[in-house]
């Protein structure tokens, strides 16, 4: 029997988080939390290396035989990208929140909840049993809720409840489809929740469409897409920067991840049926999110709205049904995680000094804190997908792939690229960093540029964005097989290239 790497990967941070609830000093707790997060990073890298060598890391052990449920874990290129994103961001979040804002609980509790959340997220991205996925999907809500309500802003209670209600509503709708899958599999033989067994059933027609919609609604809320996105700005604005990073950078990827793994992977006919509607909703999300970001005066809300726009591009790529667009969407999931982390964390570092997330509370910061200003600029450039940044590659792949399938829809999405330049350069950077130094900025930032720990947090994130911007092939090669396999299963071929003059 081979070592159960994927089980160990998810359990390690959960064990670390539970240990942190034991009585211990504040310093010891923070060091222990960081050690467990770095150890999880090491295991994640080991999983990536083993996967690259062709090792079979899958686990399938009968769990609840009456339901056909299994303790089943596995990893493909898309899952591996999400694993690496999660294990890299978690220790950086812990460093960034080395001194969490004063809340209802201690820093020790913050570190514990983050580690538990990391482990649950890793199980979400590796589960190959539908019931197991659902249980971990719902379980991630618990530490997230307590991170918001325990360490958030003045309206943290409202934001936490809103987040929970939206998420639970989506989860309950998904549960109906999960139960429906059991009934379908039981009626056709031995009941099973294994994705491979369910995919072999090819559930088409009205039944497949209704079951698919149960999953899709939950993933639309999670992604989030307009009009079911309203929980995100409120939640992000009331969360700590580290919590917002994990929420938007990691957990919200479950939405797009689930669309590919479960909607397309279990209901190909229904997914093709819903694709025209999803591409329209994707364009609406792209434009609405960008315009809402332009109208935002709170930096945390602005970053949240930019993510609504970027998730629109990911969904557009998924439902354009080309290998190029789906590869771009999966790559975008990885890149957006680093990009949004850079934005949330640098905004948090700025607010720690100024005491406000209000854009109008700043001015001329680049003259007194040039390093912080430079990091904000780089993070912003990644958000607007500047060439040389990893986000440019993924966004270009989505647009190019979508264009070959539906150029009209793609044209309507393109203004989102222009709007991104407006909210990043003309609003976020110009109004906070340039111009004369205000009295408040001078007092808050003089002699208080980024610290060594803060630089240690931001350098790896910026480095990843630049590396995958100039050398995208390793990541593209990792996720492209998932896109090709999905296209083959759905039964949709790439559009034939149009050659001028051909009859």
Q: What is the DSSP string of 287-348?
A: HHHHHHHHT--BHHHHHHHHHHHHHHHHHHHHHTT-HHHHHHHHHHHHHHHHHHHHHHHHHH
Q: What is the pLDDT of residue 368?
A: 92
Q: Is 127 helix (H, G, I), strand (E, B) or coil?
A: strand
In the prediction, which pLDDT does 500 show? 58
State if pTM tops 0.75: yes
For the chain, 503 residues long, give each residue's pLDDT as a single digit of tens.
589 999 999 999 999 999 999 888 878 888 999 999 999 999 999 999 999 998 999 999 999 888 889 999 999 999 999 999 999 999 999 999 987 666 677 888 999 999 999 999 999 999 999 999 999 999 999 999 999 999 988 889 999 999 999 999 999 999 999 999 999 988 887 888 999 999 888 788 899 999 999 999 999 999 999 899 999 999 999 999 999 999 999 999 999 999 999 999 999 999 999 999 999 999 999 999 999 999 999 999 999 999 999 999 999 999 999 999 999 999 999 999 999 999 999 999 999 999 899 999 998 999 999 999 999 999 999 999 999 999 999 999 999 999 999 999 999 999 999 999 999 999 999 999 998 998 888 888 888 899 999 999 999 999 999 999 999 999 999 999 999 999 999 888 888 765 555 54
Angle at 37 between CA 167 and CA 306, to 5 degrees: 45
d(CA 385, CA 472): 14
Instruction: Tell me what pLDDT residue 103 has.
Output: 61
Cβ atoms of 224 and 255 within 8 Å: the answer is yes
Would you tell me how many other CB atoms lie within 10 Å of the CB of residue 358? Answer: 13
- Three-state SS string across 27-83, please? HHHHHHHHHHHHHHHHHHHHHHHHHHCCCCCCEEEEEECCCCEEEEECCCHHHHHHH
Counting Cβ atoms within 10 Å, is residue 240 exposed (0-12), middle (13-18) or buried (19+)? buried
Provide the sign of the torsion angle of the four alpha carbons 432, 434, 438, 440, taken in this order.
positive
pLDDT of residue 33: 93
What is the torsion angle, in degrees rounded to the nearest 10, for the CA atoms of residue 201, residue 202, residue 207 and residue 213? Answer: 110
Rg (the chain; Cα; Å): 22
Q: What tokens were used for 178?
A: 């999960």
């Amino acid at each position: 029997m081979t070592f159960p790497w994927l089980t160990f990967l998810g359990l390690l941070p959960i064990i670390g988080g539970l240990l942190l609830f034991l009585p211990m000093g504040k310093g010891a707790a923070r060091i222990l939390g960081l050690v467990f997060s770095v150890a999880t990073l090491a295991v994640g890298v080991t999983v990536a290396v083993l996967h690259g060598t062709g090792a079979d890391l899958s686990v399938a052990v009968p769990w609840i035989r009456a339901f056909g449920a299994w303790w089943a874990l596995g990893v493909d290129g898309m899952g591996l990208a999400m694993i690496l994103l999660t294990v890299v961001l978690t220790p950086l979040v812990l460093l960034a929140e080395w001194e969490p804002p004063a809340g209802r609980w201690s820093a020790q509790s913050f570190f514990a909840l983050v580690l538990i959340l990391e482990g649950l997220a890793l199980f979400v991205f590796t589960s190959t049993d539908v019931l197991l996925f659902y249980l971990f999907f719902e379980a991630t809500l618990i530490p997230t809720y307590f991170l918001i309500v325990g360490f958030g802003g003045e309206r943290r209670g409202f934001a936490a409840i809103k987040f929970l209600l939206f998420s639970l509503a989506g989860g309950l709708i998904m549960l109906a489809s999960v139960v429906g899958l059991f009934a379908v599999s039981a009626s056709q033989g031995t009941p099973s929740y294994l994705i491979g067994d369910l995919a072999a059933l090819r559930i088409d027609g009205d039944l497949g469409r209704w079951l698919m919609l149960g999953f899709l609604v939950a993933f639309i809320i999670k992604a989030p897409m307009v009009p079911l996105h309203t929980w995100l700005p409120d939640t992000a604005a009331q969360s700590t920067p580290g919590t917002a990073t994990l929420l938007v950078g990691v957990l919200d990827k479950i939405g797009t991840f689930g669309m590919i793994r479960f909607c397309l992977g279990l209901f190909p006919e229904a997914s093709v049926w819903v694709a025209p509607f999803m591409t329209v909703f994707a364009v609406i999300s792209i434009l609405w999110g960008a315009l809402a970001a332009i109208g935002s005066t709170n930096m945390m809300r602005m970053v949240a709205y930019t993510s609504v726009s970027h998730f629109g591009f990911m969904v557009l790529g998924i439902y354009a049904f080309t290998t190029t667009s789906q590869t771009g969407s999966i790559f975008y999931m990885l890149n957006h995680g680093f990009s949004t982390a850079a934005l949330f964390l640098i905004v948090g570092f700025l607010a720690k000094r100024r005491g406000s997330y209000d854009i109008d509370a700043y001015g001329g910061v680049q003259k007194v804190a040039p390093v912080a200003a430079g990091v904000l600029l780089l993070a912003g450039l990644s958000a607007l997908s500047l060439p040389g940044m990893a986000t440019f590659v993924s966004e270009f792949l989505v647009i190019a792939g979508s264009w070959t399938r539906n150029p009209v829809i793609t044209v309507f999405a393109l203004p989102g690229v222009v709007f991104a330049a407006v909210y990043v350069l003309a609003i976020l950077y110009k109004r906070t960093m340039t111009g004369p130094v205000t009295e408040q900025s001078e007092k808050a930032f003089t002699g208080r540029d980024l610290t060594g720990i803060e630089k240690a947090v931001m350098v790896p994130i910026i480095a990843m964005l630049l590396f995958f911007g100039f050398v995208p092939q390793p990541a593209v090669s990792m996720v492209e097989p998932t896109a090709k396999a999905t296209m083959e299963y759905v039964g949709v071929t790439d559009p034939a290239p149009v050659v001028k003059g051909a009859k």
